[in-house]
Amino acid sequence: MGAGATGANRRLGAAVLGAAGLMLPAARSISGQILEVGDESPRGPISQLLPDEGEDIAIAVPVELRRLVEQLDAPDYATREGASRAIETSGASIGTLCALLVDPVLSGEQRCRLLLILESQLTSVPRGALGISMRRRVGAARREPGIEVVDLVPGLPAEGVLEIGDRITHVDGRPLQSHNQLVVVIQSKAPGADLTFTVRRAARDEDGTLVIGADGRVVWRTLDLTVALGSVARLIDPQTGQVPAPGTVERELERQAGEAYRRYAPRARRLTIPGLGRADAAPAPSDPFRTGD
């Protein structure tokens, strides 16, 4: 595949961006065979952002933040809304929000509003992006290992460092088993973090012609290339506004948000209604909503 991908190819690629800053279309080999791009289980770490359940959270909550939490239960709606927005923009960490939510004296209103803020914090954690379209080598995988770069996303860090045709075999010294592993490793890092990619690249002479060895095969070089990651937020297609499909890391962060609701949402209560007797317990809300006057 030539080094100069067409603008049409780039625009098409941008419309099918994977959630980690890598495009994951099914690709065709030179022979026309469809190469599988499955959703293998990740082999890289995904951070657990919530504290362990039941653990004592030793975080000092600022007085001003506690004052805002009190206002979440104010009589008038405007005050409650203003306090919610102030907490959202205060820079309160996920750990601090969890420390507030373990307080047993919180009202249902305070608890639900804090949960909405915590959910937003969890699901909007900045995630790294590399900016490649790739395919997994199959068939001759043992002879030609690695994840092959088939296109580069303009304006993201891979451009100018990686080349179309490169085969990424390791990240920070860890061998790659699947494209999804690469996605997880990249998205688990913050924008600006450095990753070192071990790459096999076809050797070329001064004229750009492939170097062929005595055995008649292309000569490959092994390079270690360090890249400072960009942001997955840059992957929104500027023409269509399309966002990447949810990936492994995004689904894990959503799972942790659901775990936060399970831990901290208001408990179910039994109500006695005159003339009807005792009602069944109502379940705690899985997605609390804001209430108005």
**pLDDT value of position 197:** 95
**Residue 39 token pair:** 């959703």
Q: Which fold would CATH assign to domain 7-42+127-233?
A: Pdz3 Domain (2.30.42)
Q: Look up residue 171 and give its DSSP letter.
A: E
**Residue 168 token pair:** 């990424």
What DSSP element (H or E) covers 152? strand 147-152
The CA distances from residue 190 to 13, 47, 160, 168, in Å, are: 23, 11, 21, 20
Instruction: Tell the burial category of 229 from Cβ atoms under 10 Å away from its Cβ (0-12, 13-18, 19+).
Output: buried
**pLDDT value of position 43:** 37
Q: What is the β-pairing status of strands 132-136 and 22-23?
A: parallel
Domain ranges of the chain: 7-42+127-233, 63-124+250-278
- C-alpha 75/C-alpha 32 separation (Å) is 67
The CA distances from residue 219 to 160, 186, 201, 216, 258, in Å, are: 22, 29, 9, 9, 51
Q: Look up residue 226 and give its DSSP letter.
A: E
Q: Which residues contact 131 (CB under 8 A, 6 or more apart)?
A: 21, 22, 152, 153, 155, 156, 157, 158, 159, 230, 234
* φ/ψ bin of 66: left (φ > 0), alpha (ψ from -120 to 50), beta (otherwise): alpha
From first to last of the 293 residues of the chain, give the pLDDT tens digit: 333 333 333 322 332 233 334 433 333 222 222 222 233 333 345 678 888 887 777 788 999 999 999 999 999 999 999 999 999 999 999 999 999 999 999 999 999 999 999 999 998 888 899 998 887 654 444 555 688 999 898 889 999 899 999 999 999 999 988 888 888 899 889 999 999 999 999 898 888 888 888 888 888 899 999 999 999 877 766 566 666 667 788 888 999 999 999 999 987 777 677 766 555 555 555 555 444 44
State the pTM of this model. 0.64
- C-alpha 185/C-alpha 177 separation (Å) is 12
Q: Rounded to 5 degrees, what are φ and ψ at 29?
A: -80, 175
